[in-house]
Amino acid sequence: MARDEVWTEKYRPRKLSEVTGQDIIIKNLQSYVRARNLPHLVFSGPAGVGKTAAAVAMVREFYGDRWSENFTELNASDERGIDVVRNKIKNFTRTMPVGDASFKIIFLDEADALTDAAQTALRRTMERYSGTCRFILSCNYSSRIIEPIQSRCSVFRFKSLSYDAIAARIKYIADKEGLKVSGEVIRAINYVSMGDMRRAVNALQSAAVLKSEIKPAMIYEITATAHPEEIQKIVTVAMVGKFFDALNALDELRDKGISGDEILAQMHRIVIDLDIPARKKVELLDRIGEADYRITEGADERIQLDAMIAAFCLMADKDNEDIKRGI
């Protein structure tokens, strides 16, 4: 069993039909391939949902064996200034396509990291060399791409991957690698990945290094993610005013090396799904958001998490007082 390769690369889709979870977008891209033409494109969406995979798979189908000669990929977060547009991008666009291709394709990853000056220069380059080169801009937030560029492109918005899309790919890789994965394992991988296929595949590979029969606990441990039931215990215990019980449960997560950011992110997901009155849910989410903001701004993580648990308990006391008063 060859596990020395990075599975996110080993199992990267080679055809558009292999890209999962983005059916409508893939159908549109396939129509461009059949027409042997395409406009400038903007791919927008979260990380790990298939933006780069779709671009590379489309280019492979466009050019066949000579795809690498007519395609280049740049990461704008590495070189985000105007020089990258004036030098690297222009040098590529000025050369003629190889073979019988009518144009070349340049893929600009994390294009929302480009400065406004660089984007303005890019706009002019897109206009001037549109006859010999097409641009695909990939970004997490299309709002950070200047309007003149957006108006020159067809914008495709990729969504977070569904459980079915994650499950199908994990089962495929598990079959290829001879791994035993149960439905519970796939649900665990889906939970920790949060719609990110790269994170899902990396979690599977990390667990496979330890054992060919994967268990859910392995997934949570390897990814430094708390089991959903552990997070739910903290919230529900705090909501009934048991401060020290909730604090002890929180300390158990800290002892496992789970970061405060991860605890807050999971707590947010748990509270959203809790079957409680809307007003109560709003109060809990408000406190989670405040703790997250303060930690981001540099406040002590332990103090903020403890304070959040204390606030949950105070809400429970307030509810009991309201009930006694008949409110």
Kindly report, residue by residue over 14-72, the tens digit of the pLDDT. 999 999 999 999 999 999 999 988 999 999 999 999 999 999 999 999 888 888 888 98
User: Is residue 266's pLDDT more than 50?
Assistant: yes
Kindly report, residue by residue over 191-248, the tens digit of the pLDDT. 999 999 999 999 999 999 998 999 999 999 999 899 999 999 999 999 998 999 999 9
pLDDT of residue 86: 66
pLDDT of residue 317: 63
Q: Do β-strands 153-157 and 133-139 pair in parallel, antiparallel, or remain unpaired?
A: unpaired
How many CA atoms does the CB half-sphere of 139 hold within 13 Å? 21
Tokens read off for 12: 């990267």
Q: Which domains does the chain have, with CATH numbers?
A: 22-157 (3.40.50.300), 163-222 (1.10.8.60), 228-320 (1.20.272.10)
Residues 6+ apart with CB under 8 A from 283: 315
Mean model confidence pLDDT for the chain: 88
Gap between the Cα atoms of 299 and 305, Å rounded: 10
79 touches 118 (CB < 8 A):
no
pLDDT of residue 185: 95
Kindly report, residue by residue over 287-300, the tens digit of the pLDDT. 999 999 999 999 99
Quick one: pLDDT band at residue 158, thresholds 50, 70, 90? Answer: very high
273 touches 218 (CB < 8 A):
no
Q: What is the mean pLDDT of the segment spanning 271-292?
A: 92
User: Is residue 327's pLDDT more than 50?
Assistant: no
Q: What 8-state DSSP symbol labels residue 49?
A: S
Among 97-106, 141-150, 280-289, 314-323, the minimum mean pLDDT is found in: 314-323
Residues 6+ apart with CB under 8 A from 316: 238, 239, 240, 241
pLDDT of residue 83: 61
User: Is residue 322's pLDDT more than 60?
Assistant: no
Quick one: pLDDT band at residue 80, thresholds 50, 70, 90? Answer: low
Q: Do β-strands 40-44 and 133-139 pair in parallel, antiparallel, or remain unpaired?
A: parallel
Dihedral of CA 253/255/258/263: which sign? positive
Global confidence as pTM = 0.82
The single-letter code of the amino acid at 116 is D
pLDDT of residue 75: 78
- The number of beta carbons lying within 10 Å of the beta carbon of residue 131 is 9
User: What percent of the chain lies above the pLDDT cut of 70?
Assistant: 92
Measured CA angle at 130 (ends 103, 118), to 5 deg:
120
Who has greater pLDDT, 74 or 286?
A: 286
Q: What is the mean pLDDT of the segment spanning 171-189?
A: 94
pLDDT of residue 318: 66
Kindly report, residue by residue over 103-153, the tens digit of the pLDDT. 899 998 888 888 888 888 888 888 888 888 899 999 998 889 999 999 999
Task: Please state the separation of Cα 280 from the chain's center in Å.
Answer: 29
222 touches 298 (CB < 8 A):
no
Who has greater pLDDT, 90 or 111?
A: 111
